[in-house]
Amino acid sequence: MSSLFTLILYKMLGFERRAVVLQEGQTAESIAQLTRKGGMVPPLDFVDIAQKTTTAVVHITAKYGNTNASSNKRNNRQNNINDLFRDFFGDNDPFGQMPRNGQRGESTGSGVILTADGYIVTNNHVVADATEIEVSLNDKRTYKAEVIGTSPATDLAVIRIKEKGLTFLAFGNSDVLKVGEWVVAVGNPFNLQSTVTSGIVSAKGRNLNLLKNERGRGDNTTKLAPVESFIQTDAVVNPGNSGGALVNTKGELIGINTAIASPTGSFAGYSFAVPSNLVKKIVKDLIDFGAVQRGYLGASIRDLDGKLAEEKGIKDLTQGAYIEAVQEGSAADEGGLKESDIVVGVDGRKIKSSAELLEEIAKRSPNDKLALSVKRNGTEKTINVYLKNEEGKKGLIGKKSNNDIQKALGADFSNLTSKEKSSLSISGGAKVENITGGKIGQQTDIREGFIVTKLNGQPIKDAEDLLNKLKTTKGGVLLSGMYPDDDTNTEYYYGFGM
């Protein structure tokens, strides 16, 4: 199936570091010259842009293996259909091709090559929970890809293929993108490879509540705090474009196509992309740390509009991010931000909505300083805050320990005795004990006593080996093994997402 999030909006409208350099676009004359002296407007030509971009956009196929030799719990991807889907389609897959329990399946999408040595950005929903990822280049070469890291809160993921000398796209500056500018979308809609469409920027800073229920598949404990500040365009985007490129007239990457608003599942005039300045921050964190190093303000905010301004007695101001509450001990609290403050700027950039403020915060890391322009009792002042990490502390978040992994999985693991290995004719494995919930309890039918012999096809020596491998695994996990009391010699398979 195609893995594009489709928004049914009509009823609502009305992480060892790696030295990786992400290229930025250089100031240059636009490829597409729209005007000449004398007022002539020549035909708009996207040939150079298309040739430059299509070689850096890839087709991604995410495969999902059988999750169980018997039956698995309700398919995790189906579990996470957004409420907007559910309201319109019930519990059915809107494209009718979602892998069901006990079935193999696959989804498809697009990705953008960012470095010559194979780092690729795509949408998290394209690769989430996949047990195998295949990448096809524009010249038909295919590769197996590994997941480097994911960010459900921004619906972004980084994968990598083993190759050198690849054509890649440089980042443009999405902050200077203006409504009305021409843009080009490149992706693989409906498996139609390297499709190029064009349009204009229709709006910026769109918050659609698309990610409000996404926590990583079946994980009810992960802190999400979604960030949505989409670039809206009218460039034709369809299922399969997810993770594809949105470029400006210089051929620079200014967004990752993520969603469409449609009553049918196909393009209807509204498409949405994650802005490149946010993408760049997330990608760098995922490559360097394996996880997003995100800064938190520690305040509840909402859009200021005319209605709220009237309700709160606010005069001469109907735009900004209104502070509803400040968490004690948070960055906002320590910086002096107060309830009823209105944030109208960040580091010199005007802020018109909560989405724009969240985007600016999401582009920063823990300990980063923000100069907030704040209206308080009709007077504007500057408040400096130093962001904290998701644990409410200063500094970056380190890599997860084995204890962290066990807690997330909701189970303990023990080593097999020599007698057990001999009786089962196996050389190693890890026994599952004390299931208390977590991913194993919530996403699989694994029973206590199950012996894990392989992780994603790789042999497991003992419990420590399993946990160490899981620490570096991103995306889909496929455990295979056996039950000691099963006389049928059946090999069982269980899948879940990390």
- Give dist(CA 121, CA 171) in Å, integer: 12
Establish how many alpha carbons lie within 13 A of residue 12's alpha carbon, considering only the half-sphere containing its beta carbon.
15
For the stretch 434-463, pLDDT in tens is: 998 888 988 899 999 999 999 988 899 999
Q: Which domains does the chain have, with CATH numbers?
A: 1-293 (2.40.10.120), 299-386 (2.30.42.10), 402-497 (2.30.42.10)
pTM: 0.71
Residues of the chain falling short of pLDDT 50: 1-18, 26-42, 66-103, 213-222
Q: Which residues of 460-494 are buried (b: 16+ CB within 10 A; e: fewer)?
A: bbbbebbbebbeebbbbbbbbbbbeeeeeeeebbb
Structure tokens at 273: 């992309």
pLDDT at 72: 39
The pLDDT score that the predictor gives to residue 32 is 44
In this prediction, residue 129 carries a pLDDT of: 78
Residues with Cβ within 8 Å of residue 140, at least 6 apart in sequence: none
Q: What does the pLDDT look like over 326-382, one tens digit per residue? A: 999 999 999 999 999 999 999 999 999 999 999 999 999 999 999 999 999 999 999
Give pLDDT, residue 103: 45
The residues carrying an active-site annotation are 125, 155, 242
d(C-alpha 72, C-alpha 496), whole Å: 10
pLDDT of residue 339: 97
